[in-house]
A and B are shown apart, each in its own frame.
Chain A
């Protein structure tokens, strides 16, 4: 053997202690999570549970295709789309003025140094309003409105309108402020009003991005309007809830298929439109 042999390579993993430590931490964290979520997979296989589940799932095939049932499902699917569309339109009605009020790019006083105190406070207040609107989930708004206006699509439309106005307003503001504001400030400096500066400076620059985000949110609204039905806000979800409570597996499977088709269609329409906008 040569005297200049290299030292034997380390056979132990150099990161061994660190790995063991983090695995230990993970295990310690996992136990309370498993306890808190009452994670007992074997109850899925308990005989009486399994019997009910299998009967329900067995009923899924074939899906129910009676003509009058299909007509009802089609009507409810349309209502789901209509709730989403009406909700988005109302959200726009709320979001556009709020965006205009909160955009710092349209501030006249910040053209020369810092923004004045009053406009600054107003803009911050509008931003906080948008955050509050957005951070309450639409399902909670729907629960509130179901109690105010009763069961039906009105609650769904209002819930989507409020939550989505917060989302749209916030992202619109970000889009408007992230772009190049040179044209806008030039207009403002030369004496254009804020609305003029918006329509001739900010809007043409950002119209594509704004529209594309709105279309994307419309797609999201369709998904959530189907879910809102489960708390009684009309549409496909409400019918699904009824069928589910009657353990009518065939009806549920038809509606699930229609729902998946609807989401797929909205996805297609939305991505096509966004590609057309560019």
Chain B
């Protein structure tokens, strides 16, 4: 029993002389969010491994190890005969062109779609904002490779389908980023022009665009870096470039050719990273 102050102070809570007894917190509590998250994650992992018929026996078998060993052994000796290298160069240029031109198309269409998808000032009713954003989201949520497969039907085999596929997906991504940039641009210059009665198109060209142009360029260059990676593998489904060569030579189990193609892919990715970095540096100076 604790001793209490007597008489109790008016209006005050009487202080307990000893700290009241408190049970240690229970380890599991129904409102313990973290416990549920951990439990849920664990259940998801167990269910995933249980329901997939993973063939570990096959993967760890001697035969698979031999085949893997043979693959890796051949991968270490890239093919270097001149005829093949010439073809490889052409395919690399094709991939580079696909990524750059796809990004360019996406930047143009992204900007065109970003205009209706943004609310530029408080009185702007922006009726087209919701539907345009829905379109952008739909474009964005379908990956490049799925676009490529869909577009093969309309555009036929070759780099054209790949370029369009990159442009489709990237238009969704860039359109949304551009719209955010337009909405977040400082409103002052636009407001100043609007009070003078300048029309919306010119307000965009002379007030908004100059302010956000560096941001737009850096988003576009960043997507170009992503797109060169995507363009390299798009060809696997028949959309031209290095990927198409890769699928062809891998299908014939020509691993030394495959190895050269992989090296070309990595060099191309590194080249675009360097170019994009240099361009960004050049613009920010």
Contacts and interface: CB of A to CB of B under 8 A. Distances in A.
B236 A149 contact: no
B274 interface: no
Contacts of A157: 52, 54
Nearest to B159: A37
Contacts of A158: 59
Interface stretch (B19-27, B125-133, B216-224, B245-253): B245-253
Contacts of A77: none
Contact of A148 (B59, B93, B142, B247): B59
A250 interface: no
B59 A49 contact: no
A231 interface: yes
Contacts, number: 154
B277 interface: no
Chain B, interface size: which category? 35 or more
**A38, A81, A224, A263: most-surrounded residue (chain B CB, <10 A):** A38
A37 B98 contact: yes
Interface in A136-170: 136-137, 139-140, 143-144, 147-150, 152-154, 157-158
A244 B237 CA distance: 12
A33 B142 CA distance: 25
A154 B54 contact: yes
A276 interface: yes
A44 interface: yes
Contact of B146 (A56, A148, A150, A227): A227
A32 B159 CA distance: 13
A38 B48 contact: no
A37 B64 CA distance: 39
Contacts of A143: 236, 246-247, 250
B109 interface: no
Contacts of B52: 79, 82-83, 86, 153-154, 157, 234
Contact of B159 (A36, A241, A256): A36
A137 B97 contact: no
A140 B55 contact: no
B71 A230 contact: no
A135 interface: yes
B154 interface: yes
B51 A79 contact: yes
Given A144-B71, A227-B143, A230-B237, A149 B59 contact: yes
B153 A39 contact: no
Nearest to A157: B54
Contacts of B149: 230, 240-241, 244
Interface in B148-163: 149-150, 153-156, 158-160, 162-163
A276 B37 contact: yes
B237 to A, nearest CB: 6
A234 B155 CA distance: 27
Given A38-B160, A143-B250, A150 B101 contact: no
A226 B149 CA distance: 13
Given A43-B156, A81-B48, A135 B138 contact: no
A260 B138 contact: yes
Contacts of A227: 143, 145-146
Interface string A45-80: 000010011001000000000000000000000110
A135 B225 CA distance: 13
Contacts of A79: 51-52
A249 B250 CA distance: 30
B168 interface: no
Nearest to A44: B154
Contacts of A256: 142, 146
Given A44-B155, A143-B250, A260-B141, 10 more contacts: A30-B101, A37-B240, A49-B155, A136-B262, A144-B71, A148-B71, A150-B58, A240-B149, A256-B142, A260-B138
30 contacts: A32-B97, A34-B101, A36-B97, A37-B94, A37-B98, A37-B101, A37-B160, A38-B159, A38-B160, A38-B240, A43-B155, A43-B156, A52-B154, A56-B153, A82-B51, A85-B45, A86-B49, A89-B45, A89-B49, A137-B233, A139-B145, A143-B250, A144-B250, A150-B55, A154-B56, A227-B143, A230-B146, A240-B149, A259-B142, A276-B37
Interface of B: 33, 37, 44-45, 47-49, 51-56, 58-59, 64, 67-68, 71, 93-94, 96-98, 100-102, 104, 138, 141-143, 145-146, 149-150, 153-156, 158-160, 162-163, 229, 232-233, 236-237, 240, 243, 246-247, 250, 253, 262, 265-266, 269
Interface of A: 30, 32-34, 36-40, 43-44, 49, 52-53, 56, 78-79, 81-83, 85-86, 89, 135-137, 139-140, 143-144, 147-150, 152-154, 157-158, 223-224, 226-227, 230-231, 234, 237, 240-241, 244, 247, 252, 256, 259-260, 263-264, 273, 276
